[in-house]
Amino acid sequence: MTAMLTPPVVRFAPSPTGSLHVGNLRGALINWLYAKSAGGSFILRMDDTDAERSTTAFADGIEADLRWLGLDWELLVRQSNRTESHNAAIDRLRAMGRIYACYETPEELTTKRGLQLAQGKPPVYDRAGLNLSDDERAKLEADGHNPHWRFLLGQEEVRWDDLIRGQVHYDAGSLSDPVVIRSDGTPLYMLPSVVDDMEMGVTHVIRGEDHVANTAEQVQIFQALDGDVPVFGHFPLLAGSEGEGLSKRLGSLALKDLRDEGFEPMALMSLVARLGTSDNIEPVADLSELVSTFDISHFSRGTAKFDPRELRRLNGKLLHDTPFDQVVARLGDLGLGEADEAFWNTVRPNLELLPDSLILWKVIHGPIKPVCDDLDFTQKAADLLPAAPWDIDTWKQWTAAVKDATGAKGKVLFLPLRLALTGLDHGPEMKNLLPLIGPERAKARLRGEAA
């Protein structure tokens, strides 16, 4: 990655109006990796100016999700605590004539846009509010119309060198003057975001490509307030495995749900960090490895697809390589406080999620209902079980004896024994599983008894 003269300062600025999902995580993770790979700082900013929809519970949930993933921050800011700075910026812009009052209702604006489209014109606001006289404004307000306020865009072309998209340019004349203050007097996203970025020293704004037009407008707000325009980067949004968007409003793949299902945070990070890049997607056990290999230039402009099946595959691979000492406490949290290293080493090659170990614990310790389609065969096998103690060689010795006594071999030999002993047609290697099941339970199950 190209060396930076000064460490970058980035921010992740979610609105606490819902739970974080995988699409949000992409923005948080790219920003965090970008900062950490260059010795910079990561700010978590709650953009909570929408008082009606923002809640403390959602904000707390966002913090919990990021902590679970290991994404720490140097500074936590709540935008709702910064109204003094936002109002000061509004006063400056008003004094400069860069914001102006508008009185159209949402319905009237919709009608205007419809007429423009019908006439083959771009649906750009006509600046009717800018052309009102003082008397006309006074009358509208006397009649009960509260204004919303728009930022007056200059007509010059806006250009920037995007970290991902390369050279971007916008004709400001093709954009509507953005609304920056609601009719109830509260600021919208566009203005407070710029003010906070300026005052927090944010050097790089990295976000989804759905913000490209916003960037063209916000560049002019930075300039109007004499602020340093940050470096921008816009990454493609994630899509589902079938191409559908990961919508926040649909709650698609909420991080809390993935955590509750038992996914490993590093499986999720390993996948999201490299989706849409030229890097191989493989399980990474530690964030430091993602940091050391991160390069934002590896991101393409194509839409990346998030496949939950790939997440499960990576999750399983991580568990297969996880030693017992790193998982013993979590097994205890699942209620498997008696689990030992022999149990873990036996079951981990067959796990996709850690809670799956509960199923295999029951397979070993019971009770289970055995599957004995040929009870005569399994009872004969029970009579041939060797005496304890058992070890990993017991399965081979026993099945050889059963083969000699019955003539069964291959699948006809092994599958009925597995079904009787575990109730499943798949699972851990029987040579490891049989000693854990033990002689008493094994004999009962082979005779068709629940044990």
Tens-place pLDDT, residues 242-297: 666 665 444 468 999 999 999 999 999 999 999 999 999 999 999 999 999 999 99
Structure confidence at residue 254 (pLDDT):
93
Every domain of the chain and the residues it spans: 1-94+188-321, 95-181, 324-359, 375-446
pLDDT digits (tens, 9 = 90+) for 151-166: 999 988 999 999 999 9
Per the CB < 8 A criterion, the answer to whether 298 and 316 are in contact is no
Answer yes or no: are the C-beta atoms of 235 and 26 closer than 8 Å. Answer: yes
Which residues have C-beta within 8 Å of that of residue 198, sequence separation ≥ 6? 222, 225, 227, 228
Q: What are phi and psi of 184, to 5 degrees?
A: -90, 5
Return the structure tokens found at 410: 């291959």
| Per-residue pLDDT at 5 | 63
What's residue 172's pLDDT? 85
234 forms beta bridges with 207
DSSP secondary structure, 139-169, as one string? HHHHTT-PPEEEE---SSEEEEEETTTEEEE
Task: Examine the pLDDT at 404 and tell me if it is beyond 80.
Answer: yes
Mean pLDDT of 430-449: 97
Q: What mean pLDDT value characterizes the chain?
A: 94
Q: How far apart are alpha carbons 451 and 446 in whole angstroms?
A: 10
pLDDT of residue 3: 45
Q: Tell me the pLDDT band of 173, cut-offs 50, 70 and 90.
A: confident
Domain range 375-446, CATH architecture: Orthogonal Bundle (1.10)
pLDDT score at 244? 67
Q: In this structure, which topology does domain 95-181 adopt according to CATH?
A: Glutamyl-tRNA Synthetase; domain 3 (3.90.800)
pLDDT value of position 243 = 63
Closest CA to 265 of 247, 280, 298, 287: 287
Cα 15 from chain centroid (whole Å): 15
What is d(CA 290, CA 420) in angstroms, rounded to the nearest whole number?
45
Residue 32 has pLDDT above 80, yes or no: yes
Backbone φ and ψ for 200, nearest 5 degrees, come out as -95, 0
Closest CA to 98 of 156, 173, 152: 152
- Give the whole-number percent of the chain exceeding pLDDT 90: 89
What is the pLDDT, as a whole number, of residue 49?
83
Q: Mind listing the pLDDT tens digit for each residue in 48-89?
A: 988 888 999 999 999 999 999 999 999 999 999 999 999 999
Q: How many CA atoms lie within 13 A of 22 on its CB side?
A: 29
1-94+188-321 has CATH 3.40.50.620 classification: yes
